[in-house]
């Protein structure tokens, strides 16, 4: 290669980099306001337990303008179809006693603090529980009905309704006390390389957010928008499905949906989003 | 027959005479194409919404023939000129003969 072509090549690369930075900056400056009146915190100072990051950003800030717009209006957000479907399940009686969710929890609004504080330690069961585990506890122990599948459509929709009810609440996951052991296990998983590609969660979502992995714009891997309507799947996707997809992409055998490993990982990753707003059901690629 | 079919529309409550307004409609529907097979290899019968009509005070604004390649939960966004107060009606026709309807009033002035 002659000196001249080398120089031209460098210039071209420099141009792309500058353009990339400018674009990212524009996106960060956008504000997420849903339906014109619900302000969502999409950028916040990182929690104290995050050693390598100073700021955390919602996955919304990494998406294209068109995808962002879909989330700014509930009519355009296809995830709301799942929420509506769960709304009717919420008032449908299940089990022998003819009780529904609404028998105890008047309306979904009364559950507005749930998404922002789960997964959390459950004293009665002596374990960390996710929203899905809590829903199934209500269904089996309070209503006396058959549990829903952890990743069933009903469950994902109900999880979507609970996220929707808590939209705008600031995520505040307790990581100390009895939950600490599970949290540490989740943190270890986060930094453990898996699969033939030997990638950990941190390799993409901590070391390389805002960079591209092939055509994908890597986000910080926040869970605040889950369950998320993924355009490529055309349906709501649960946290554990997303975990499974990521680990599969490292060419590893994945943990099962609802497994203790994924519960621990969910606790840890959710706690990385402390300070951001709940914004589910979000719209993502 | 398709379950949980529910139409929803967004139309402004009011408009100036002669104003062009944006209308959004969406109907939840599986839009089964008739091309897919179930686990046993049997064809899943086609079940789609095959026609959508919007009208204002009886005058047709848009009349769409819909085909099997249209995805789940069909969404339409279009514009209409509003000359006077009236009612906009929306009608979806299902393969199974069901007809789903919705209507919204727009006030001019």
pLDDT in tens, A210-247: 999 988 899 999 999 999 999 998 899 999 999 999 99
pLDDT band at A21 (very low <50, low <70, confident <90, very high): very low
Range of the domain at A255: 32-77+168-284
Chain centre to alpha carbon of residue A171 = 11
> Does residue A10 have a pLDDT over 60?
no
ipTM of the complex: 0.75
CATH assignment of the domain containing A52: 1.10.760.10
Q: Which residues of B touch A85 (CB under 8 A)?
A: 4
A147 near B CB under 8 A: no
Chain A residues closer than 8 Å to B73 by CB: 78, 81
B26: domain range? 6-35+50-108
The tokens describing A195, both together, are 């699969």
Give the model's pLDDT for residue B10: 92
CA of residue B64 relative to chain centroid, distance = 9
The pLDDT confidence band at residue A24, using thresholds 50, 70 and 90, is: very low
Q: Tell me the pLDDT tens digit for each residue of A86-101.
A: 999 999 998 888 889 9
* pLDDT for residue A18: 41
CB contact under 8 A, B72 and A84: no
Residue A78 near chain B (CB below 8 Å)? yes
Count of structural domains within chain B: 1
Q: Does A66 contact B at CB distance below 8 Å? A: no
Residues A195 and A256 in one domain: yes
The pLDDT value recorded for residue A7 is 42
pLDDT tens track for B11-36: 999 999 999 999 999 998 989 999 99
E strand or H helix at A30: none
Distance CA A281, CA A260 (A): 24
What angle in degrees, to the nearest 10, is found between the helix axes of A260-272 and A239-249?
Answer: 100
Tally of domains within chain A: 3
The CATH number covering residue B65 comes to 2.60.40.10
Q: Is residue B40 part of a domain?
A: no
Q: Is the same domain home to A86 and A21? A: no
Would you say residue B85 lies in a domain? Answer: yes
| Alpha carbon of B85: minimum distance to chain A alpha carbons (Å) | 24
Q: What is the mean pLDDT of residues A269-282?
A: 95
Confidence at residue A28, expressed as pLDDT on a 0 to 100 scale: 52
Residue-wise pLDDT tens digits, A132-173: 999 999 999 989 899 999 999 999 999 999 999 999 999 999
| B68 located within any domain | yes
The residues of A annotated as belonging to the active site are: 246
Scored b (16 or more CB within 10 A) or e, A249-264 reads ebebebbebbeebbbb
Contact call for B24 and A234, based on CB within 8 A: no
The mean predicted confidence, pLDDT, of chain A is: 88
Chain A residue closest in CA terms to B28: A81
């Amino acid at each position: 290669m002659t000196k001249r072509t080398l120089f031209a090549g460098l210039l071209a690369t420099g141009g792309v980099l500058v353009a990339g930075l400018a674009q990212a900056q524009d996106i960060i400056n956008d504000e997420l306001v849903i339906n014109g009146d619900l302000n969502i915190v999409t950028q916040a100072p990182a929690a104290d337990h995050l050693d390598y990051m100073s700021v955390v950003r919602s996955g919304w800030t990494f998406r294209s303008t068109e995808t962002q717009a879909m989330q700014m209006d509930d009519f355009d957000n296809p995830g709301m179809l799942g929420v509506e479907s769960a709304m009717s399940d919420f008032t449908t009686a299940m089990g022998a006693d003819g009780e529904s969710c609404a028998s105890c929890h008047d309306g979904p609004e009364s559950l507005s603090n749930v998404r922002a504080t789960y997964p959390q330690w459950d004293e009665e069961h002596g374990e960390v529980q996710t929203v899905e585990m809590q829903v199934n506890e209500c269904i089996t122990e309070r209503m006396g009905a058959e549990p829903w599948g952890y990743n069933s459509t009903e469950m994902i929709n109900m999880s979507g309704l609970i996220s929707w009810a808590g939209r705008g609440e600031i995520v505040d996951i307790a990581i100390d006390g009895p939950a600490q052991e599970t949290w540490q296990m989740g943190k270890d998983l986060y930094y453990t390389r898996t699969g033939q590609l030997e990638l950990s969660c941190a390799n993409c979502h901590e070391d390389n957010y805002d960079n591209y992995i092939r055509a994908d714009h890597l986000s910080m891997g926040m869970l605040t928008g889950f369950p998320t309507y993924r355009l490529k799947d055309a349906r709501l996707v649960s946290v554990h499905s997303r975990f499974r997809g990521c680990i599969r992409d490292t060419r590893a055998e994945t943990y099962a949906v609802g497994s203790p490993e994924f519960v621990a990982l969910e606790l840890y990753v959710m706690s990385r989003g402390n300070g951001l707003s709940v914004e589910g059901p979000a719209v993502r690629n | 027959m398709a379950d949980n079919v529910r139409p929803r529309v967004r139309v402004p409550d009011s408009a100036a005479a002669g104003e062009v307004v944006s209308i959004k409609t969406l109907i939840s529907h599986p839009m089964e194409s008739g091309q897919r097979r179930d686990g046993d290899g049997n064809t899943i019968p086609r079940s789609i919404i095959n026609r959508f009509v919007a009208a204002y005070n009886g005058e047709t604004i848009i009349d769409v023939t819909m085909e099997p390649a249209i995805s789940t939960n069909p969404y339409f966004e279009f514009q209409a000129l509003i000359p006077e107060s009236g009612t906009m009606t929306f009608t979806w026709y299902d393969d199974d003969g069901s007809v789903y309807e919705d209507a919204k009033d727009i006030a001019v002035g």
